[in-house]
């Protein structure tokens, strides 16, 4: 049984499937993919994942992509330490919150991260070389996103993204009034999802939300996720991001 996990820094999607691997005490080979060098669009990587994105899980040659799919796969194959409820209602709750984070949160936090971090990286590249790099990107939407990051996202799009994040924080803070975890009584992949995409850095990325005073239950939940040994282990994976840009990646909170 051999597991290989191709990933970037311990934040967002790369962290989201790394935490379950750690929670389940699974041995895996870690393969670092350097997004700063556009390795995700290189020939060898696109052969592995034709969409040119991290993370990727290779289990004995079966290649699995997309974090929510990877995390369900890990539950199916390695159920001994579960991160998914056994009962259908619990499963449905967990999947509801995963869907909410995937559709209503991830891209909006990502837009702010790209605006502040990838934009700096993209503007540092001379335009002829940048065009060549963009041509290699397999997904049309990602090609557009790289170009937009270089020129800068519009104020309206950024404001809309902040609204979505504020709504998500409110919704989750309210939900936590009656539930210790997102899916109810059990810590699940839904908690890992929101933590990786938003919870771990929302206070630093969006100081204007005044998270500590406006969303105290969210802060308490974040601290509970953050304190888990598996989460600490995942956050300690190498981080090659330029320290000046690190506010948005997995640095100590
Ligand atoms: N839906 C995918 C999204 C993967 C994704 O957006 N990965 C980002 C890193 S967090 C990436 O590879 N970005 C680099 C690029 O698209 O060029 C998943 O859940 O795995």
| Interval between CA 183 and ligand 1 midpoint (Å) | 25
CATH top-level class of 88-228: mainly alpha
Q: What is the pLDDT of residue 251?
A: 45
Taking the CA of residue 11 as reference, the ligand 1 atom at the shortest distance is 10
Say which residue the tokens 């290649």 belong to.
63
- In degrees rounded to 5, what are phi and psi of residue 183? -85, 5
% pLDDT > 90, the chain: 91
Mean pLDDT (whole number) for 204-214:
97
Query: Under a CB-based contact definition with an 8 Å cutoff, are residues 52 and 137 in contact?
Result: yes
Residue bearing the CA closest to ligand 1, atom 12: 53
Q: What angle do CA 131, 35, 157 make, to 5 degrees?
A: 70
Q: What is the pLDDT of residues 155-180, one digit of tens each?
A: 999 999 999 999 999 999 999 999 99
Name the pLDDT band for 245 (thresholds 50, 70, 90). low
Decide if pLDDT at 253 tops 50: no
| Interval between CA 9 and ligand 1 midpoint (Å) | 12
Decide if pLDDT at 249 tops 80: no
Angstrom distance (rounded) from CA 141 to CA 136: 13
Structure-model confidence comparison of residues 244 and 34, the more confident one = 34
Strand order across the 29-32 sheet: 29-32, 3-7, 56-59, 62-65
**Burial degree of 128 (CB within 10 A; 0-12, 13-18, 19+):** exposed
| Interval between CA 56 and ligand 1 midpoint (Å) | 10
Taking the CA of residue 35 as reference, the ligand 1 atom at the shortest distance is 14
Mean pLDDT (whole number) for 25-31:
97
- Quote the mean pLDDT of the chain: 94
Q: What is the pLDDT of residue 126?
A: 93
Structure-model confidence comparison of residues 244 and 196, the more confident one = 196
| Interval between CA 55 and ligand 1 midpoint (Å) | 7
Q: What is the pLDDT of residues 72-123, one digit of tens each?
A: 999 999 999 999 999 999 999 999 999 999 999 999 999 999 999 889 989 9
Q: What is the pLDDT of residue 243?
A: 62
Angstrom distance (rounded) from CA 247 to CA 253: 9
Mean pLDDT (whole number) for 140-154:
95
Name the pLDDT band for 197 (thresholds 50, 70, 90). very high
Mutate to test the pocket of ligand 1, among 12, 13, 194 (most ligand atoms within 8 A of CB): 13
Query: Under a CB-based contact definition with an 8 Å cutoff, are residues 38 and 118 in contact?
Result: no
Decide if pLDDT at 7 tops 70: yes
Domain boundaries, the chain: 3-77, 88-228
Angstrom distance (rounded) from CA 27 to CA 38: 27
Q: Report the interhelical angle of 140-151 vs 127-135 (nearest 10°).
A: 160
Mutate to test the pocket of ligand 1, among 19, 37, 53, 190 (most ligand atoms within 8 A of CB): 53
Spell out which residues line ligand 1, taking CB within 6 angstroms. Answer: 8, 12-14, 35, 40, 53-54, 66-67, 142
| Interval between CA 54 and ligand 1 midpoint (Å) | 5
Q: What is the pLDDT of residue 246?
A: 54
Q: What is the pLDDT of residue 241?
A: 72
Q: Does domain 3-77 have CATH number 3.40.30.10?
A: yes
Q: What is the pLDDT of residue 36?
A: 87
Name the pLDDT band for 244 (thresholds 50, 70, 90). low
């Amino acid at each position: 049984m051999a597991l290989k996990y191709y990933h970037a820094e311990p934040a967002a999607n790369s962290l989201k499937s790394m935490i379950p691997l750690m929670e389940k005490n699974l041995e895996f080979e870690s393969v670092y993919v350097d997004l700063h060098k556009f390795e995700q669009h290189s020939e060898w990587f696109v052969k592995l994942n034709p969409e040119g994105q991290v993370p990727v899980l290779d289990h004995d040659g079966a290649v699995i992509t997309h974090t929510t799919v990877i995390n369900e796969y890990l539950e199916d194959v390695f159920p001994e330490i579960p991160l998914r409820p056994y009962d259908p209602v619990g499963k449905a709750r967990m999947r509801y919150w995963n869907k909410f984070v995937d559709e209503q949160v991830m891209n909006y936090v990502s837009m702010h991260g790209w605006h502040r971090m990838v934009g700096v990286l993209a503007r540092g590249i001379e335009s002829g070389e940048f065009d060549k790099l963009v041509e290699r990107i397999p997904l049309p939407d990602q090609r557009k996103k790289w170009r937009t990051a270089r020129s800068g996202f519009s104020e309206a799009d950024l404001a809309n993204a902040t609204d979505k994040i504020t709504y998500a924080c409110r919704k989750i803070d309210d939900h936590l009034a009656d539930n210790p975890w997102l899916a109810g009584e059990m810590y699940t992949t839904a908690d890992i999802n929101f933590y990786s995409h938003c919870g771990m850095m929302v206070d630093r990325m969006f100081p204007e939300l005044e998270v500590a005073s406006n969303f105290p239950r969210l802060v308490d939940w974040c601290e509970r996720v953050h304190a888990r040994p598996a989460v600490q282990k995942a956050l300690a994976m190498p981080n090659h991001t330029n320290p000046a840009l690190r506010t948005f990646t997995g640095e100590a909170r």
